[in-house]
Structure 1
């Protein structure tokens, strides 16, 4: 097993129980160690569905295009691109690139990647790419993408989760299972090891086309408890701690040259509800009562320490299709919530609901559940470890309510409503509004930005009434940063190790 140790505050050696001990400084290796609350799902980029996975995998794999810190499209494995017509785009590919196993990168890898992604409906990212009709190889370093009808988001799709380019020869010869055990990409860092629910370790790719990577090793540690992440930062066990509680910020800021960076991020907390016939939340009055019972501002102030912005939409500023009238807004009316439950037939005992949340959002869920109980709901609060929560999420096994933090790597309103399309909603929310479905399907192909924006704004206004989900607030990310790194958090929550520099002495 690789030992993480280095001048950047690496994870260090491990004790007999397999737990990391205090960081060591080798004086030579440059090691970057980042702590997150949850682990990756797997090393299959096309079968992941959370931001934490993507934030790790972007260091191992490359997209055809990248988003810079201002979300401008810049070259990745494609050096240039042009729109041939509304359904066809042509890409010139970078030459001289090798995968981590030495295989050369060519158009065949692009074709393999996107044919698998667009045709295998079992892949979690398939829904974002199934509009791809053909990927045609013009020559070894030129490909054309043909879509089923116009796609206003093709460039957005090619620079986000799922679009990581896979090694076709390696997977075709060895199989996907072998690839999952020894994943291979073209990125600046190569796979070293994965201890599930503990850590992912990467080492530098000395042959990276973008130049020699900054770090010798990069480790992503899984530390679910925020207080433990803070303690590890303060003892130099890690370099970056995500999700620092506001109550701990003073413990970090200025201590031994440590600091806290706070950044608005894309993530919005959703309280998603079943509209399945027969469920108590199928009644719109019950869903409205849930909305009115929860005081979003109080949760932001008391639990998040002000690090959030209440919202009635998940399409926040900076994303295409945002509706400003629903942002920085919330509803709270405890008495009306009680009245709505009586109107719904719960005058003598409120509806029983199971409310699920992962441990990362435990405090928020507890306060929200107490608010629901106060207006008459009988709440079974189900707090799950991250892996169990992910398992239930992927299998659509939640009951009436579940709390989910959702980001937006597309920077477009369509990303926020994909799960509520009729086919995707089956078994999860079972949401079915024909007007919303028509608007979403039309917007997917609308090449007129002004019309398309109005379609998504209309959807947001309908959601504010229908409430298949209610929005609590847009999160602000609090990151604890150790003295040996310079780091500015990104809006999309990605950890590009090449954008994180060793601190100047």
Structure 2
């Protein structure tokens, strides 16, 4: 019966897919005969089409097509000029003056001005959605027709990285003022390679190539993002040439996708995601450093990578993943030592071990590694009892209310700099917010403050190494592993890259002739 149910469910999903894809079939340029449409499968709906009102990964994929930023994070190149041709820092690094690119058109035909840029930055700074990126920014002001000055509250090393994310994108001031915030979200106006056509909530987002795009008209003219939450269904659709790009394919499908002639499975080089065991450092059990360290000594990272990621990832000992600034490959965490772990538990008052509830997002992304950790900790007498929760309830209970003892979750570097994760998760000023491990250490606070305000890369790396030593010795959380971002696409599609920042610019794509 279970097999029949699974088959029926898949059949229903494929019928739904067929109806969604109606009207999204292949389209060819009538003058060249070359295919110029593309269907891109995403695994969730977007939050908003207003770039200043969302910052999640899936929404950002669409925003990268519609909006642009002053600085662009170009896959394979790093930070390059975007809507700003150049920039200059003041001597104390608290002001940045941008030379604005001229003759750039918005989708409504207006020419982008310095007024639009300053307005956009100030609107983004005022949004609660951008705080992780704009928290050190004070305001932007027009200098003259081609220059805008960004004034900082303090010097901030990763500021250019922050300015490259879509939630600090440039919008049409006139469109926002005429339509209002709600109206703008329904009819957004940016400068990107694609302009908005329509959104069917829970189904698809349709975009069209912008012929007046300042870098030249895109080769892909019609772009549809299909929302397909079932990754297995999406993989079948890719195999059947019903979609052209599959974002975030399930690792279980990797071997099959790699075997197909019409599919290119494209692995990246690491990611910005780090799985961690996170403790509530104020809980009655885990406020004791000895208990936290005991668990650290019982963790076999290689085993977790092999079992949870099918080997498609790497162990992480430093609280910074390899793709993020500040990483040092020589750093070592606590050694694997079960006897040391048992000794520490006994010293902490648990000679016979202990039982504790671990709250988990019910997704297999977290339950699979948690099951391996559960088996590992059983060897030292620590019994983890699972409490599985839907995502919204988990986020409310754990990340908002800190109503937990221990969890296994993922820290994400919203920009590829150690500051994003370490300052957000460890600085005491963020307790009650992003510091849901409730860690409070004045020495670490001072190191974090110094690292984020410095513009000297060598000094910043040394500071993040010292902070990592605190993570190793004090064990406020335990870094486990990172994965490799990957993407699958029709093998005839050129220009597709898997990249750690999930910066998927369809402007770079084209069909082989």
TM above 0.5, yes or no, is: yes
Cross-structure match for 1:355: 359
Distance 1:167 1:280, change over 3 A: farther
Cross-structure match for 2:11: none
Cα-Cα RMSD: 3.2
The structural deviation recorded for 1:109 is 1.9
Cross-structure match for 1:448: 456
Q: Which runs of 5+ in 1 are unaligned?
A: 1-12
Q: Does the 8 A contact of 2:398 with 2:404 survive in 1?
A: no
* Structure 2 counterpart of 1:113, from 117, 120, 136: 120
Give secondary structure in 1 for the equivalent of 2:273. Answer: strand
Distance 1:429 1:302, change over 3 A: closer
Equivalence map 1:131-142=2 (5 Å): 131-142=136-147
Equivalence map 1:161-310=2 (5 Å): 161-310=166-315
The structural deviation recorded for 1:143 is 0.9
Distance in structure 2 (CA, Å) of the matches to 1:219 and 1:390: 30
Q: Does the 8 A contact of 1:246 with 1:478 survive in 2?
A: no
Distance in structure 1 (CA, Å) of the matches to 2:368 and 2:217: 43
Q: Does the 8 A contact of 1:90 with 1:142 survive in 2?
A: yes
Give secondary structure in 1 for the equivalent of 2:388. Answer: strand
Distance 1:162 1:466, change over 3 A: farther
* Structure 2 counterpart of 1:69, from 62, 70, 75: 75
Q: Does the 8 A contact of 1:265 with 1:493 survive in 2?
A: no
* Structure 2 counterpart of 1:437, from 428, 436, 445: 445
The structural deviation recorded for 1:164 is 1.0
Give secondary structure in 1 for the equivalent of 2:270. Answer: strand
The structural deviation recorded for 1:421 is 1.9
Distance 1:449 1:378, change over 3 A: closer
The structural deviation recorded for 1:437 is 0.6
Cross-structure match for 1:376: 382
Equivalence map 1:289-438=2 (5 Å): 289-326=294-331, 331-334=335-338, 336-347=340-351, 350-357=354-361, 359=363, 361=365, 362-372=367-377, 375-385=381-391, 395-396=400-401, 399-419=404-424, 420-427=426-433, 428-438=436-446
Q: Does the 8 A contact of 2:68 with 2:166 survive in 1?
A: no
Cross-structure match for 1:473: 481
Cross-structure match for 2:498: 489
Q: Does the 8 A contact of 2:320 with 2:418 survive in 1?
A: yes
* Structure 1 counterpart of 2:133, from 125, 128, 135: 128
Q: Does the 8 A contact of 2:263 with 2:488 survive in 1?
A: yes
Cross-structure match for 1:501: 510
Distance in structure 2 (CA, Å) of the matches to 1:201 and 1:390: 30
Distance 1:190 1:396, change over 3 A: farther
The structural deviation recorded for 1:345 is 3.6
The structural deviation recorded for 1:14 is 7.2
Cross-structure match for 1:78: 84
Cross-structure match for 1:25: 26
Give secondary structure in 1 for the equivalent of 2:330. Answer: helix
Q: Does the 8 A contact of 1:82 with 1:89 survive in 2?
A: yes
Q: Which runs of 5+ in 2 are unaligned?
A: 1-13, 30-34
* Structure 2 counterpart of 1:460, from 456, 468, 472: 468
The structural deviation recorded for 1:453 is 1.8
Distance in structure 1 (CA, Å) of the matches to 2:326 and 2:339: 34
Distance 1:66 1:192, change over 3 A: same
Distance in structure 1 (CA, Å) of the matches to 2:364 and 2:210: 33
1:202-235 deviation digits (Å, cap 9, x = unpaired)? 2222222221122222233333444333222212
Distance 1:429 1:211, change over 3 A: same
Deviates most, 44-53 or 103-112: 44-53
Cross-structure match for 2:52: 46
Distance 1:331 1:100, change over 3 A: farther
Deviates most, 358-367 or 227-236: 358-367
Cross-structure match for 1:146: 151
Cross-structure match for 2:10: none
Distance in structure 2 (CA, Å) of the matches to 1:161 and 1:172: 20
Cross-structure match for 1:5: none
- TM-score, normalization: structure 1? 0.86
Distance 1:482 1:369, change over 3 A: farther
Distance in structure 1 (CA, Å) of the matches to 2:410 and 2:286: 20
Q: Does the 8 A contact of 2:300 with 2:336 survive in 1?
A: yes
1:32-91 deviation digits (Å, cap 9, x = unpaired)? 223333443333433434333323211111001112223443221112222343322221
Q: Does the 8 A contact of 1:356 with 1:398 survive in 2?
A: no
Q: Does the 8 A contact of 1:356 with 1:401 survive in 2?
A: no
Give secondary structure in 2 for the equivalent of 1:444. Answer: helix
Q: Does the 8 A contact of 2:199 with 2:206 survive in 1?
A: yes
1:405-428 deviation digits (Å, cap 9, x = unpaired)? 444353322122132222223252
Distance in structure 1 (CA, Å) of the matches to 2:152 and 2:502: 29
1:178-198 deviation digits (Å, cap 9, x = unpaired)? 222332221111223334444
Q: Does the 8 A contact of 1:99 with 1:184 survive in 2?
A: yes
Give the number of equivalent residue pairs.
489
Deviates most, 431-440 or 127-136: 127-136
